Amino acid sequence: MYEPLKIRAYLQTGIISDQFLPLDGILYNVKVRENFGEQTITKPLESLVREESGKTRLPFERANNHTLQWYYHCSFAQWYEDMVEDHQTYSKRFDLKYSDVIDFKGKTSRFDTKSGRFKNYFIKVYYRTASYVDWFAKGDKEELERLLKFVTHLGKKTSQGWGAVLKWEVEKIENDFSIYKDEKLIRAIPIKENGFLYGIRPSYWNPKHQFICKMPE
């Protein structure tokens, strides 16, 4: 059922993300929405996902199965020579056409855009541009191709057009590179000590999924 695969996303726009961009985390979002519909899985001020989302299984083979430190045979993103890192700044300003909906509670209606709640401010975002990005995995090719059809964007600020994917390509390969490739670690794996605290499976922000890990260089 599971076989070594190379998964490639051809990119139309830059991606706002860190260098790791775990594919299992991206597909976890798709699978949870498919299983439970468009409902609130996390709520404001809550740090843990609801119990039913933990039953979601992705079409990857598991490593360290039957232990608390299990993770999927799925690498982090693999970037190549044409990848460029850069940043962009965008501004947020109060739109005066909405001034009539503000309740000033009887006070003088004055908008101070230099300080206070209506202050204009600038946000810097860091992004990566490339022709394509790869992941290596050991998984179910047909099921992955089906799920990837629903992944049209990657990373943050997708509503602004960032991270648009032109197409996906899933290819069978000879060797399993989901954890190591050319003797180099290409995803986080749990270790006993002298590592970094990081997630090993989705949701990566969930403290229950975070362990001391050896990280890719």
pLDDT at 99: 66
pLDDT at 164: 97
pLDDT digits (tens, 9 = 90+) for 98-110: 666 666 666 656 6
Number of residues written out for the chain: 217
In a domain, 202, yes or no: no
Cis peptide before 203 (omega within 30 of 0): yes
In a domain, 159, yes or no: yes
* Contacts with 36 (C-beta within 8 Å, 6 or more apart), sequence order: 52, 53
Question: Which of 69-83, 100-114, 130-144 is least confident?
Answer: 100-114
* Contacts with 17 (C-beta within 8 Å, 6 or more apart), sequence order: 77, 127, 128, 154, 155, 156, 163
pLDDT digits (tens, 9 = 90+) for 167-211: 999 999 999 999 999 999 999 999 998 999 999 999 999 999 999
What are the percentages of helix, strand and coil residues in the chain, rounded to 5? 20, 30, 50
pLDDT at 107: 61
Residue 116: CA count within 13 A, CB half-sphere: 7
CA dihedral 94, 100, 103, 108 (to 10 degrees): 90
Helices (H), ranges, 57-216: 141-148
Measure the CA–CA gap between 179 and 167, rounded to whole angstroms. 24
* Contacts with 116 (C-beta within 8 Å, 6 or more apart), sequence order: none
pLDDT at 90: 79
- Strands 165-172 and 3-11, bridge-based pairing: antiparallel
Number of separate domains in the chain: 1
In a domain, 103, yes or no: no
In a domain, 8, yes or no: yes
Please tell me the pTM assigned to this model. 0.83
The tokens for 135 are 């992941």
Question: Which of 30-39, 72-81, 149-158 is least confident?
Answer: 30-39
C-alpha R_g of the chain: 21
Query: What are residue 134's DSSP bridge partners?
Result: 8, 78
In a domain, 57, yes or no: yes
Higher pLDDT, 17 or 55: 17
In a domain, 21, yes or no: yes
Percent of the chain with pLDDT over 90: 68
Q: How would you class 144 by CB atoms within 10 Å of its CB: exposed for 0-12, middle for 13-18, buried for 19 or more? A: buried
Domain region containing 135: 3-39+49-80+131-187
**Is residue 18 over pLDDT 70?**
yes
Three-class SS state of 55:
helix
In a domain, 212, yes or no: no
In a domain, 201, yes or no: no
